A and B are shown apart, each in its own frame.
Chain A
């Protein structure tokens, strides 16, 4: 059974700092990994998708990497801004039914 872990559960940083969010998974036979952002009381917004054959993806100030062999992904946020404050979730697509398994998220607060 795939398990996805995100550590830390919460993170507080000053504005302008570069930061890294971590995601680990137990079964390396994945199809893809997706990073989402969730604002309080809202749905999930897709940030980046990394296919199993890829090592990283970039969008603006965001860069996500994938190391399947070690079961890890990181989301790098450059020059953080207060508007980046949200919960960040990673989700892994794997298994016979191609099920998506979510981590429980990292709640990020960027302090002005």
Chain B
């Protein structure tokens, strides 16, 4: 079974802190994604990566950056956390861009910025 893990289930940070969210997948998937999920807004794509050291902006990249130094690991960085970044953050991975393949999600990180 594909497994996508996220470093924390719950996280509380203060405004202005630098925050790291880690995601690891164990199935050698090429593509990895970071989403945030907010009530009434659904899931929105922050960043995605289609290979090591490669990244592309999604719909809402402002205030975020990412890092992919190894194929299995994709990190989301909040350079200076703000209260409007309080949200549920979901990581996902997919084998490739082929339409035959499913996207798999991690358990999510509930981030609260106070």
Contact = CB atoms under 8 A, between A and B. Distances in A.
Interface of A: 31-32, 34, 36, 41-46, 49, 51-52, 89, 91, 93, 97-100, 102-105
Given A43-B108, A103-B42, A104-B41, 14 more contacts: A32-B99, A36-B105, A41-B108, A41-B110, A43-B90, A43-B106, A44-B92, A44-B105, A45-B105, A46-B103, A46-B105, A52-B99, A97-B56, A100-B45
Given A100-B45, A102-B42, A43 B105 contact: yes
B60 interface: no
Interface string B13-49: 0000000000000000000010000001111010000
A46 B40 CA distance: 21
B99 A51 contact: yes
Nearest to A30: B99
Interface of B: 4, 33, 40-43, 45, 56, 88, 90, 92, 97, 99-108, 110
B24 to A, nearest CB: 14
Nearest to B42: A104
Contacts of A45: 105
Q: Nearest 4 A-B pairs (CB), nearest first?
A: A31-B99, A44-B105, A104-B42, A43-B105
Most chain A beta-carbon neighbours within 10 Å: one of B102, B104, B106, B108: B102
B103 A100 contact: yes
A98 B40 contact: no
B45 A99 contact: yes
A42 B33 CA distance: 17
B58 to A, nearest CB: 8
Contacts of A97: 56
Nearest to A41: B110
A42 B45 contact: no
A49 B102 contact: yes
Contacts of B45: 99-100
